[in-house]
Structure 1
Amino acid sequence: MSYAIVCSDLSFAWADGTVVLDGLDAAFGPRRTGLIGVNGSGKSTLLKIIAGELRPGSGTVSVEGEIGHLPQNLVLDGAATVSDLLGISGTRAALHAIERGEATEENFTAVGDGWDVEERARAELDRLGLDHLGLDRTVPTLSGGEAVMVALAAQFLARPDVLLLDEPTNNLDLDARHRLYDAVASWTGVLVVVSHDRELLDRVDEIADLRDGAIRSFGGGLSAYEELLAVEREAAQRTVRAAETDLRRQKRELEEAHVKLARRKRYGNKMYEQKREPKIVMGARKRQAQESAGKHRIMHEERLADARTRLTDAEEAVRDDAEIRIALPATRVPAGRTVATVTGLAAPEPEPATLTELIVRGPERIALTGPNGSGKTTLLRALTGDRVPDGVVVKIGVSGVRYLPQRLDVLDEDLSVLDNVRAAAPSAPVNDIRAGLARFLFRGARAERPAGTLSGGERFRAVLASLLLAEPAPQLLMLDEPTNNLDMASAAQLAQALAAYEGALIVVSHDVPFLRTLGITRRLRMDRTTGLTEVEAT
């Protein structure tokens, strides 16, 4: 198979010396590849190196053809327009100038073959559900999801030979996600997509798993890959069980050997004391017994050490991501208790089912869905008391309210994980906080690490700990697209933590598999025109 991307012996480290990649070899061919791995494993860094945005410390990258790259975090000019994001403003300006009669060589050169650029741009926007956007609309008026989709439209419009997508489904509503799935399914060039979106990863041709500094590739989508992993894990667990049995046997044999040697020593000493044989003979036998005992002991100790090594190797082969295990009884809200009331909700074109009042009762688990830009985040911020819209009244009936925004920027970068949680729970004993952090996988010195040095998965767990261990305990918890930028292990850890949460929960998410794990009891939908409505829970 010919490869369009070949990475040889790649190494990369940040300025502070943190090693991200070390001697990595990778190759991607003319197919759709889903690149997965835990947060901090180097997926985004690898895409940036391939795109030429970062220079590796050593190694080489060879790419055939033009590269298109959609980064995880878009940096947008506040004065830019949709046309600018699509990369067609220069061509449009020259085209409009020619239409006004300015038929200069410069304008014709700028237009090139792009006489239908506006029609093609509109067709691409329409395909991605952005038919309501004008080409001259400015970036600040777009929602986060709309900005991502416009950036995607730009890539599909340019049709590069190699397309690199980094978490493209972040901030996208369900309709936009399905449009993206269709666009990816129709892509015929080289595509490498970093994602945690299970449905997207089931539509690729192969999975490339970046783990422990190396990439393993497997044909098929994520489900097929996970089935293979389950078989590997079961085989590895059988090896662990066999190694444990062998270790127990070696320990038992070593103990038995010690008992036998002790008996021989006592018998030899008795014979020596009774002087039943000549002294020279008894001395020789004693030396021989000591040498034999030493060799016997060394043999069994070596076997025991080998058994321990085999067990360690077997345990390392079992791919089992650490789990969060916590209990949060202080978050409990009695059934039926009113947690929050929002009145004065209005919509431009309300329907009979439109809600003008929202009542949240404990311990409800509410999924809030709807198109990008429909006001979901605005509603959550209103519930926190921040940016309450005119005419809206919010009443909170519990003592603890916590909000996790889309960006995990709620930690003090200069403080340790421990001190960040202490700031959220100032009266809690330090030992209690340490015990709580241990259940979020921050044990010992890991709790002392500054927040600014954490990987993405570690940062997520630290933010989660600061929310759930806070004082007063949060009895209303609101999460805004919590699985954005989370690897699948971290998303599973979030679900584990929320399984212990006993308060009222409101989650804005379009991650359907994740919502299924939460035991959602109520679904609300926010729409730009019809406002807030209740939909049937599934």
Structure 2
Amino acid sequence: MPTLSFSHVSFAWPDGRRVFDDLTTAVPEGLSALVGRNGIGKSTLLRLALGELTPTAGTISTAGRLAYVPQDLILGVDARVIDVLGVAPRVDALRAIESGSGDPAHYEVLGDDWGVEDRALAVLRVLGLEVGLDRRVGHVSGGEAVLLGVGAALLADPDLLILDEPTNNLDAEARAALRDSLSSRRGATLVVTHDRGMLETVDRIGELRERDDRTADLHWYGGALGEFESARATEGEAAARAVTAAESAVARRGRELDAHVAAAGRRSRQGEKARAQRRVVGLAADAAKNRAERTDARVRAIHEQRLAAERERLDQARAALPRDRAIRIDLPATAVPSRRLVAEAAGLVTRTGAELDALVRGPERIHVAGGNGAGKTTLVATLLGEIAPASGRASVAVSAGVLRQRLDVLDPSLSVIDNVRRRAPEASPQDVRDSLGRFQFRGASAGAPVSTLSGGERFRAALACVLLARPAPQLLVLDEPTNSLDLDSQARLLEALADFQGALLVISHDPAFVEALHPTRRWTVAAEGGPVTDEPLA
């Protein structure tokens, strides 16, 4: 019995833009993942499932209790951990009773749930959270706050649990703890994620894909990421073969049509010659000519219909091919000579207690690692001069571009072009348009307001703003760049960074992404402060 089902569901926004048309699918028990390119409709699908949106047609049904953990979870800074977990009244009543209270109200609130505090502590342990139940939310990190939201959902023990990008901002240990918790959970769990580690543990993967009519359809693949990628590769190979076969069929039908036209032309010339030599005269000649022309027209129409049908099949086959959305950042102005000083930290101590002595020279690639709340972002901001050090000094000797998680380089009210021109005012609109082609912004998309872009498009726009700025950045700083990026966008980003000739400083908890970057060094920031470990990797 599916916990969540869609039956012939259609949905369109008030402006008429259709997202789903006759979608029928179901989410069974076990751990299921939902993937798809940014902007395809994953969030819309979740909002429909949660009842926040109403379908224009069809029905959506859920069986049992549902819990939801959003991507942008907002918690009150003064709330206690037990408030977030949703057990505060019962825990407070239990504590009052244990302190000697005989108030009937406390017994009424607690009911039979005498183990509520132990269960809350057990959930925190399972998620790897070392926080007290009375700790204020304002004193936990962003990653810990997400885990608290997950913990509240797990304590509620819903029949269906839906999570939207839950591993964003979680360190490796927290990600592993979350994966284990979700894998062992009873009931149905649907997680929207592009975290490869999470995708390697799921029972099935559903991919939202764009159809020919630009609405989205959902395709399910049994198994985890390996099986999914293998199936997708097989589909891609089959699509390529279908295009080749369709091209051959179009060419064959074209030759058949050409041959018929040529033969009809020869017959027509022979008929004219016969009439000229008066071998065929009068009404019989006219009738024969008319019959021949009608036959030729009918046969030609058949050939043209066959050719049109093959061309339509070719268009469909080409539409099924994976689209190449590669971005290119092989910008010569960003190149750094191998011995050039890029950055220096001398006796640097950050306000969180991290200590760093280091020189960065040439096109090095440095991975900044450490647990949630260790102070990685603070270290990088101090190195860049954005935050004053507690002691020591830091300097950057080249132009730097910084791309933060919140993409704050973008003004949502401006177009992509105007956002870039703000950072390169001397560049002409046409020069900016030409450069934006490297980032897959062409034609009308380059003039689109940032507020209308999908998550992946916003990331590309922000990356363009940073890299096309003047002076061109020779040090590129990326803070959790894969958060909320779909699998294809992650692959395109890695391809683009492979061409980057400057220095890279990357904060990331994504091990697969970091490994693919081939970092030359790793700076590991300890949660308790102290010296930053500087480890050469190549």
Q: TM-score, normalised by structure 2?
A: 0.91
Distance (Å, rounded) in 2 between the aligned partners of 1:301 and 1:348: 75
Distance (Å, rounded) in 2 between the aligned partners of 1:125 and 1:24: 38
Closer/same/farther in 2, CA of residues 348 and 466 from structure 1, 3 Å limit: closer
1:232 corresponds in structure 2 to 235
Structure 2 residue 249 is the aligned partner of structure 1 residue 219: no
Distance (Å, rounded) in 2 between the aligned partners of 1:320 and 1:472: 33
Closer/same/farther in 2, CA of residues 55 and 250 from structure 1, 3 Å limit: closer
1:408 corresponds in structure 2 to 407
1:356 corresponds in structure 2 to 356
Closer/same/farther in 2, CA of residues 518 and 214 from structure 1, 3 Å limit: same
Closer/same/farther in 2, CA of residues 15 and 424 from structure 1, 3 Å limit: farther
2:197 is aligned with what amino acid? Answer: E
Structure 2 residue 111 is the aligned partner of structure 1 residue 112: yes
Q: How far 1:428 sits from its partner (Å)?
A: 2.0
1:147 is aligned with what amino acid? Answer: A
Distance (Å, rounded) in 1 between the aligned partners of 2:342 and 2:352: 28
Structure 1 unaligned residues grouped into runs of 5+: none
Q: How far 1:264 sits from its partner (Å)?
A: 4.3
Q: How far 1:282 sits from its partner (Å)?
A: 4.7
1:417 is aligned with what amino acid? Answer: V
1:181 corresponds in structure 2 to 179
- After superposition, the C-alpha distances for 1:447-476 in whole angstroms (9 at most, x for unaligned) are 221111112222222222222222221211
- After superposition, the C-alpha distances for 1:116-160 in whole angstroms (9 at most, x for unaligned) are 3333222222222222x2222222222211111222222223322
Partner of 1:366: helix, strand, or coil? strand
2:348 corresponds in structure 1 to 345
- After superposition, the C-alpha distances for 1:337-394 in whole angstroms (9 at most, x for unaligned) are 11111333338999xxx85313222201111111000111112223443223332533
2:156 corresponds in structure 1 to 158
Distance (Å, rounded) in 2 between the aligned partners of 1:54 and 1:171: 28
Partner of 1:169: helix, strand, or coil? coil
Closer/same/farther in 2, CA of residues 55 and 344 from structure 1, 3 Å limit: farther
When structure 1 is superposed on structure 2, of 118-127 and 159-168 the one drifting more is 118-127
Q: How far 1:107 sits from its partner (Å)?
A: 1.2
1:242 corresponds in structure 2 to 245
Distance (Å, rounded) in 2 between the aligned partners of 1:318 and 1:431: 31
Partner of 2:60: helix, strand, or coil? strand
Distance (Å, rounded) in 2 between the aligned partners of 1:236 and 1:528: 49
Structure 2 unaligned residues grouped into runs of 5+: 211-215
When structure 1 is superposed on structure 2, of 300-309 and 249-258 the one drifting more is 249-258
Q: How far 1:504 sits from its partner (Å)?
A: 0.5
Q: How is 1:8-407 mapped onto 2 (pairs within 5 angstroms)? A: 8-14=7-13, 18-131=17-130, 133-212=131-210, 213-273=216-276, 275=278, 277-278=280-281, 280-320=283-323, 322-346=325-349, 356-399=356-399, 401-407=400-406
Partner of 2:348: helix, strand, or coil? coil
Closer/same/farther in 2, CA of residues 142 and 11 from structure 1, 3 Å limit: farther
1:422 corresponds in structure 2 to 421
1:534 is aligned with what amino acid? Answer: D
Q: How far 1:39 sits from its partner (Å)?
A: 1.5
Q: How far 1:161 sits from its partner (Å)?
A: 2.1
Distance (Å, rounded) in 1 between the aligned partners of 2:183 and 2:261: 67
| 8 A Cα contact 1:51 1:68, kept in partner | no
Q: How far 1:531 sits from its partner (Å)?
A: 4.0
When structure 1 is superposed on structure 2, of 162-171 and 8-17 the one drifting more is 8-17
Closer/same/farther in 2, CA of residues 297 and 14 from structure 1, 3 Å limit: closer
1:467 corresponds in structure 2 to 466
Closer/same/farther in 2, CA of residues 54 and 359 from structure 1, 3 Å limit: farther
When structure 1 is superposed on structure 2, of 211-220 and 238-247 the one drifting more is 211-220
2:537 corresponds in structure 1 to 537
When structure 1 is superposed on structure 2, of 497-506 and 512-521 the one drifting more is 512-521
| 8 A Cα contact 2:421 2:432, kept in partner | yes
Distance (Å, rounded) in 2 between the aligned partners of 1:105 and 1:22: 55
1:93 is aligned with what amino acid? Answer: D
Distance (Å, rounded) in 2 between the aligned partners of 1:513 and 1:297: 58
Distance (Å, rounded) in 2 between the aligned partners of 1:58 and 1:235: 34
| 8 A Cα contact 1:440 1:461, kept in partner | yes
| 8 A Cα contact 1:329 1:502, kept in partner | yes
When structure 1 is superposed on structure 2, of 422-431 and 174-183 the one drifting more is 422-431
| 8 A Cα contact 2:350 2:389, kept in partner | no
Q: How far 1:17 sits from its partner (Å)?
A: 5.0
Distance (Å, rounded) in 2 between the aligned partners of 1:342 and 1:120: 46
- After superposition, the C-alpha distances for 1:166-217 in whole angstroms (9 at most, x for unaligned) are 1111100111111112212211221111110112112111112222322222
Partner of 2:29: helix, strand, or coil? coil
Distance (Å, rounded) in 2 between the aligned partners of 1:137 and 1:54: 36
1:478 corresponds in structure 2 to 477
Closer/same/farther in 2, CA of residues 225 and 411 from structure 1, 3 Å limit: same
| 8 A Cα contact 1:321 1:489, kept in partner | no
Partner of 1:47: helix, strand, or coil? helix
- After superposition, the C-alpha distances for 1:479-505 in whole angstroms (9 at most, x for unaligned) are 111111111111112112212211111
| 8 A Cα contact 1:384 1:402, kept in partner | no
- After superposition, the C-alpha distances for 1:245-292 in whole angstroms (9 at most, x for unaligned) are 122223333334444444444454455555554355554454444434
Distance (Å, rounded) in 2 between the aligned partners of 1:140 and 1:13: 39
Q: How far 1:62 sits from its partner (Å)?
A: 2.2
Distance (Å, rounded) in 1 between the aligned partners of 2:185 and 2:483: 24
Closer/same/farther in 2, CA of residues 391 and 462 from structure 1, 3 Å limit: same
- After superposition, the C-alpha distances for 1:8-50 in whole angstroms (9 at most, x for unaligned) are 2334445555444343222111211111122222223323333
Partner of 1:160: helix, strand, or coil? coil
1:406 is aligned with what amino acid? Answer: Q
Q: How far 1:477 sits from its partner (Å)?
A: 0.7
| 8 A Cα contact 1:481 1:508, kept in partner | yes
When structure 1 is superposed on structure 2, of 87-96 and 47-56 the one drifting more is 47-56
Closer/same/farther in 2, CA of residues 343 and 60 from structure 1, 3 Å limit: farther
Closer/same/farther in 2, CA of residues 142 and 58 from structure 1, 3 Å limit: farther
- After superposition, the C-alpha distances for 1:79-115 in whole angstroms (9 at most, x for unaligned) are 2222222222222322333344432121112222333
Q: What's the Cα RMSD here?
A: 2.5
Q: How far 1:57 sits from its partner (Å)?
A: 4.4
Partner of 1:41: helix, strand, or coil? coil
| 8 A Cα contact 1:384 1:403, kept in partner | no
Distance (Å, rounded) in 2 between the aligned partners of 1:102 and 1:266: 113
Identical positions, percent: 47
Closer/same/farther in 2, CA of residues 62 and 349 from structure 1, 3 Å limit: closer
Partner of 1:333: helix, strand, or coil? coil
Closer/same/farther in 2, CA of residues 274 and 168 from structure 1, 3 Å limit: same
Partner of 2:189: helix, strand, or coil? strand
Closer/same/farther in 2, CA of residues 291 and 387 from structure 1, 3 Å limit: same
Closer/same/farther in 2, CA of residues 297 and 34 from structure 1, 3 Å limit: same
Q: How far 1:536 sits from its partner (Å)?
A: 5.1
Closer/same/farther in 2, CA of residues 140 and 496 from structure 1, 3 Å limit: same
When structure 1 is superposed on structure 2, of 246-255 and 457-466 the one drifting more is 246-255
2:213 corresponds in structure 1 to none
